[in-house]
Every structure is written in C-alpha cells, then in structure tokens.
Amino acid sequence: MALYLIGDVQGCDAALDRLLGEIGFSPSRDTLFQLGDLVNRGPDSLAVLRRMVRYGGAARCLLGNHDLHLLAVAHGVRPQHRSDTLDAVLQADDRAALLDWLRAQRMALQETIAGQTILMVHAGVLPSWDAHKTIALAAEVEDVLRGGDLGDFLRRMYGNAPASWRDDLQGADRLRVIVNALTRLRFCSADGVMEFATKEGAAAAPAGTMPWFDVSGRQTADVTVAFGHWSTLGWLDRPGLISLDTGCVWGGALSALRVDASRAAPGHYLGGELIQVRCAQAQVPG
C-alpha cells in the first residue's frame, strides 16, 4: 500500500492521469490525499471530479478556494469569472451527485503516516491554531457545508473581514475566518492578521507580514503541515512543511509525494519520493 499527497489539480485531468500512471496508482491498494483545488482554470474539471468519485475511499480530498467557488456558482450566489472553466460540471447530467460529493469533502485532515503526524490543509493555518484546534474548526465549516443552509453560508462566506481570529467570533464572521485561513492564506502578521492581496512568492511579503509558516511560535510547529494553493511558492520540503502546488495549470508541474516509509529517498522529508509530470496548460494567473 502506498500513500501519496497530491497538489492542486485545477481541472488538469490529463496531467493527473499521467501522474497516476507514473506512480502506478491503484485505488484497490493505494490512497491519495489531494490538497484542494480539484477544479477550475484547467480544461477538464468534470473528468477530475468523476475520477475522484470513482476512486471512492482511495481518494481523500480537501476543499480549496476554487472548489468552494464552484459550489457558490452552482447555488447561484456568485457569478462565474471570465477565466472560470466550470461549464461542463454545471451542465453535466450527474451535476447533483458531483456537487453532493464535493460538499462532503474535508477542510482539513490529520493523519499519522510513517510515525509522523501530517496536518493537511489547502492554504494555511493561523499561528494561534494548533493541529487539534485546526481540525475542530475545519469540522465546523464541514458541518455547514453538509447541512441544509448551504446557500446561506455560501452567500455570507466571501469577504476579507474579520482579518484575524478571536475565540469569541460567532456566526458568519467565525466561519469566514476559518475558510479564509484554510483556503486563501499566504501572508499574515506576527499576531495573525491575514493579508490576501499578494499572490507572489515568499520574498514578496508586504511590510509587516511574512509567510504564515514563518511566524515565530506558530502552534503547528510540532507537526508536519502539508499544503497547496501557493503556486508562486512552489515545491517546498523542509522540516515540518510540505508545499505541493507546483503550478500545473500555469504550465508548471503536477506533483505527488509518496509519504509512506516503504520507498525512502535521501533528501526528502518524511522519507518521501517526489514524482512530477509537466502540464501542458499555459493559463494566466488570476
């Protein structure tokens, strides 16, 4: 049995198919953990969703900002962007089943693999959250996504405020901060005030901010955090951190990291093996 972390696919099913071929993935034997943004901007989000549904429990997927955007568009609470590529999903005969599957996916996962704890999120974790709190707060959003008030939640999900966490936050403000941290975070201040405008790499941190994972005293420093979302950061493998969005949809690569201990490779944290395939896409980030 092999366990793989896979970065942002964003509708690039052809690249995903080649990557799974490279690693010899078998859903009857192996498990993949996909770090969010299954859909959008690439050419075949419909095929990606159908593939993951077909894999059943062998595919454990997180929700990214583009996946939540698809739910919002499908529920009529957000318009499509000019660069969206969601029409095939929205017009599919199995649309309802695919959207039901999507809303049942996770906002965060924690697994012990090869003796090490891995916390998986799409984007980031606020510095005041430890792994236990991150999973508990993610579950609050998951419960709403699976409940009967999904449309109301999606209407109130968008916005940049509040920009920081307080334990006494309630209602839409509380859920919005959780969603923004888990699906949009790149930079924040030392006290956890999030900044959302900057999409460049780590060196482009606006004054008074830093990459979320560089905040001193971050409460998730005792576990390994695996994340995607940040294509301009790219592949990052350092103690306690794994970044796996390598910009497939922008003409980069789609990446998988094998994290079980059966095929250790020198130089990779967790004894993992990095496998990449180039992607033919050449989108413009937006």
What is the tally of structural domains in the chain?
Answer: 1
Q: How many residues does the chain have?
A: 286
Question: 219 in a domain, yes or no?
Answer: yes
Question: 116 in a domain, yes or no?
Answer: yes
Question: 284 in a domain, yes or no?
Answer: no
- Domain range spanning residue 202? 3-278
| pLDDT of 18 above 80 | yes
Distance, in Å, from the CA atom of 251 to the CA atom of 246, rounded to the nearest integer, reads: 9
The overall pTM is greater than 0.85: yes
Question: 158 in a domain, yes or no?
Answer: yes
Question: 283 in a domain, yes or no?
Answer: no
Distance, in Å, from the CA atom of 44 to the CA atom of 137, rounded to the nearest integer, reads: 32
Distance, in Å, from the CA atom of 77 to the CA atom of 246, rounded to the nearest integer, reads: 30
Question: 285 in a domain, yes or no?
Answer: no
pLDDT at 50: 98
- 253-258 sheet: strands from edge to edge: 59-61, 31-34, 3-6, 253-258, 273-278
Question: 56 in a domain, yes or no?
Answer: yes
- In this predicted model, what pLDDT tens digit does every residue of 164-215 receive, in sequence order? 999 999 999 999 999 999 999 999 999 999 999 999 999 999 999 999 999 9
CATH no. for residue 61? 3.60.21.10
Question: With bands split at pLDDT 50, 70 and 90, how would you rate the model's confidence at 271?
Answer: low
| pLDDT of 281 above 80 | no
Distance, in Å, from the CA atom of 3 to the CA atom of 37, rounded to the nearest integer, reads: 19
- In this predicted model, what pLDDT tens digit does every residue of 51-67 receive, in sequence order? 999 999 999 999 999 99
Tell me what the pLDDT averaged over the chain comes to.
94
Q: Are strands 3-6 and 253-258 parallel, antiparallel or unpaired?
A: antiparallel
Question: 286 in a domain, yes or no?
Answer: no
The answer to whether 62 and 134 are in contact (CB under 8 A) is: no
